[in-house]
Structure 1
Amino acid sequence: MHIVFTISSLDRTAGGTSSAVAAMARHLAGRDCDVSVVSVESDQPLLDGAGTEEGTPTVALVRRDDSPWKLWQNLSRFTHALRKEIESRSNVVVHDNGLWLPVNHRVATTTRSLACPRVVNPHGMLEPWSLEQGAWKKKAAWWLYQKRDLQSAEVVIATAEQEVQNIRALGVDGPIAVVPNGVDRPDSLPSVEEGTSDGWEQRRVLFLSRIHQKKGLLNLVKAWERLRPDGWEVIIAGPDENGHEAEVRRRIAEYGLEEDFVFTGPVEGTEKWKLYQSADLFVLPTHSENFGIVVAEALSCGVPVITTRGAPWGDLVDHDCGWWIEIGVDPLVEALAQATRMSATDRSAMGRRGRELVTRKYTWPQVAAALQSVYAWVLGKGPCPECVIA
């Protein structure tokens, strides 16, 4: 089979969706299928290759013109690249990523015109919090084309049962496959035991994600002001988005917490994983996530996690490796108090359970195998997988 991934951007700064698609493409290319990716060119693409080496995807980066009046030409180039990928191969499935953008609608119309099966992965863009952002535009798009584009897909991919429920609530009644994202933790990093912070002057709470209103950082600052645990600091790592970092810094200054918070800016690669390893606790006080890959990454490094019910991480409670709390300051204060007062031994035990959970459930080879079974079923070359909800 041949899998064509489509996405508006593969840039390193574009967020978790781009990283997830790049990882999907790489891992599926290492299995018994050919993989190509069609996207718009960017300054720092996560994938940029001709697929000439075995087990690597082919990447078609479409030339972009940022002039507003060039939108039609950009879409035409994208359509041409997509049609070329579909028409030059057999047994093709298109896996489109994201919603709402003209590129996503063009993928839907092109695959329908070519009778090519299409799988759609919304990546949390149908979650209630996300729908509230630019709500009137999304309502118009929903009735003009977006609902039809979803209904005409062979399968919609959700990363958790929580996302399934939110998709169903919108009247999408076709098959949905529940396939989580995976974790690519390097094997060469020190083990959690070797990276423990015993003996350090400061213990670390880590937030690693985009610095965006959605992520709930203002709730974290308010909770920290009320708690102020001795011997702890908060590391905030990630790129600023829409100027939100300045607002967070202002709130920190208002509460006189400057010595408790450290901003590192964006971190990638080995530095990112070392930062996870140095943490005693990971916090994502988010308003909405369809998955929350940073939660899985932290767990894979043996770090217990606090996150909200805006993220689908009931596994934290089921496997006793963290706290899954309501959104808001009060629940966050309570969870932080429990976590920071817990002994290092008990936190390490929680971390070990989290690492075991990720190993059993959230590795990319497991995710790639599940996706491949979905594609095979769509093409009529395999049975309906257990992850598909009719």
Structure 2
Amino acid sequence: MKVLHIIPGLSPELGGPPQVALNLVKSLRNLGVEAEIATTNFNRPEPLDVPLNERIDYAFGNDPNDTVPTWFLPFNPPALKEFIFSRALTGWCWKHIPEYDVIDNHYLFSYAPTCAAAIARWHKVPYTLRVMGQLTPWALAQSRRKKQLYSMLIERRNLNAAAAIHCTTEQEAEEVRQFGIETPTITLPLGVHAPDPHPAARSQVRARYGIPDHVPIILFLSRLHYKKRPDLLLQTLYDLKNQGYLFHLLIAGSGDSDYLNQLQQLTAALGLTQCVSFVGLVIGEEKDQLLQGSDLFVLPSYSENFGIAVAEALICGLPVVITPGIQIASDIAAAQAGLVVEGELEPLRAAIAQLLTDIKLRQHLGERGQQFARSRYSWRKIAQDLIPAYETIAKQT
């Protein structure tokens, strides 16, 4: 069985979705499915330095075996957020989509999956769609009129004609129904890999950023976007600092330069410069060290369809403070694997203060969270559950 995954880009600038596609395709291939990716070379400020218009084994992890067969097609600047138009991808899809049994499209309101869905319908190749949090009320409210027009002209037809819609939570499946779509849904979580242990991570992280041993490290690890609310976290920590709490915040992630400047200016205005470090984009071993060397993880996001960074923190045994807008929050709360609080100043401040002062609670939540993540977020298990769905869909032609 041949399965093609279509995604707008694999740039780290696009956050978690590229990692989802790469890890899922690798896990499918390990189970005997002939899975590949077609995408663009989108990246900022410069395009990805990869061979174009040919199939390559794209390396994406620490392990030399972390490669997946990928077709990179050039995108046409300027790239408007995640839309990322590519004339070359259009021609490639028209020529090659008939060679596959199932097309698995990642994302909505973006050119690559839109184009692939239309071409797949023309060639009568069944396809699926991953909504990737784009149907949450918060997401639909952003650029609302554009999305309403795009939905009316294109996206509703894509969704209604799909063989299935991939959802990561029951809440996301319900949002598909609320959008008026009756297409069958497949609900499977996303996965994370447990990284290799780094016994010296704590000392290495503290040495790198000049953090004393007695000062707890708070980690914010995500794409820098106002949806993630790092500004709320900074305001919360301003209050805690004034109350005498000790901490050092590591803000790890990249994003729009103007927004990064705003955050840095806010940090200075709140007098937090000495206890906040902007780490930038981290990947691979550096990312693993941050997750294993920090004391707690905080993500006060408005909306996340899943929250890959949260799952990564959990599997590393890092206690988490998150908000209900992260759709795995209810599962984490039910498993008592983290603290879930409303995205407001007072509850967020109380939760962080509790973990800053209670080492035993941090250890307890970290252990429960790690057990929970290992049992729920295995890429191999997710791929095993997905294969029968692909086989059923492939038989529909």
Matches of 2:95 and 2:56, distance apart in 1: 15
- Contact 1:22-1:47 at 8 Å conserved across structures: no
* Residue ranges of structure 2 left out of the alignment (5+ in a row): 59-63, 80-84, 207-211
TM-score, normalised via structure 2 length: 0.86
Sort the Cα spacing of 1:357 and 1:194 in 2 relative to 1 into closer, same or farther, 3 A. Answer: farther
Instruction: Show the counterpart of 1:50.
Output: 56
Matches of 1:331 and 1:167, distance apart in 2: 30
Residue-by-residue CA offset, 1:284-307 (whole Å, 9 max, x unaligned): 010110011000000111011011
* Residue ranges of structure 1 left out of the alignment (5+ in a row): 69-73, 382-390
Matches of 2:56 and 2:36, distance apart in 1: 9
- 1:279-294 aligned at under 5 Å gives the runs 279-294=294-309
Matches of 1:330 and 1:337, distance apart in 2: 11
Sort the Cα spacing of 1:242 and 1:192 in 2 relative to 1 into closer, same or farther, 3 A. Answer: closer
Matches of 1:59 and 1:95, distance apart in 2: 14
- Contact 2:73-2:86 at 8 Å conserved across structures: no
2:362 aligned with 1:347: yes
TM-score, normalised via structure 1 length: 0.88
Q: CA deviation at 1:107?
A: 1.2
Residue-by-residue CA offset, 1:151-185 (whole Å, 9 max, x unaligned): 11011111112212222111111111111111123
Sort the Cα spacing of 1:275 and 1:54 in 2 relative to 1 into closer, same or farther, 3 A. Answer: closer
Sort the Cα spacing of 1:167 and 1:83 in 2 relative to 1 into closer, same or farther, 3 A. Answer: same
Instruction: Show the counterpart of 2:319.
Output: 304
Give the residue type in structure 1 aligned to 2:338: G
2:165 aligned with 1:165: no
Aligned pairs, number: 373
- Contact 2:205-2:289 at 8 Å conserved across structures: no
Matches of 1:264 and 1:193, distance apart in 2: 16
- Contact 1:26-1:55 at 8 Å conserved across structures: yes
- 1:105-116 aligned at under 5 Å gives the runs 105-116=114-125
2:214 aligned with 1:201: yes
Residue-by-residue CA offset, 1:176-224 (whole Å, 9 max, x unaligned): 1111111123234339999999x91211110011111110111111211
2:138 aligned with 1:129: yes
Matches of 1:237 and 1:56, distance apart in 2: 25
Instruction: Show the counterpart of 2:350.
Output: 334
Matches of 1:332 and 1:55, distance apart in 2: 37
Instruction: Show the counterpart of 2:224.
Output: 211
Moved more, 164-173 or 223-232: 223-232
2:249 aligned with 1:243: no
2:91 aligned with 1:77: no
Instruction: Show the counterpart of 1:223.
Output: 236
- CA RMSD between the two structures: 2.8
SS at match of 1:314: helix
- Contact 2:201-2:290 at 8 Å conserved across structures: no
Determine which of 255, 258, 262 is the counterpart of 2:273.
258
Sort the Cα spacing of 1:132 and 1:183 in 2 relative to 1 into closer, same or farther, 3 A. Answer: same
- Contact 2:75-2:87 at 8 Å conserved across structures: no
Q: CA deviation at 1:241?
A: 2.1
Residue-by-residue CA offset, 1:247-305 (whole Å, 9 max, x unaligned): 12222222222222111111110000100111111000101100110000001110110
Give the residue type in structure 1 aligned to 2:2: H
Q: CA deviation at 1:357?
A: 0.7
Q: CA deviation at 1:54?
A: 10
2:160 aligned with 1:144: no
Matches of 1:67 and 1:225, distance apart in 2: 38
Identity %: 28
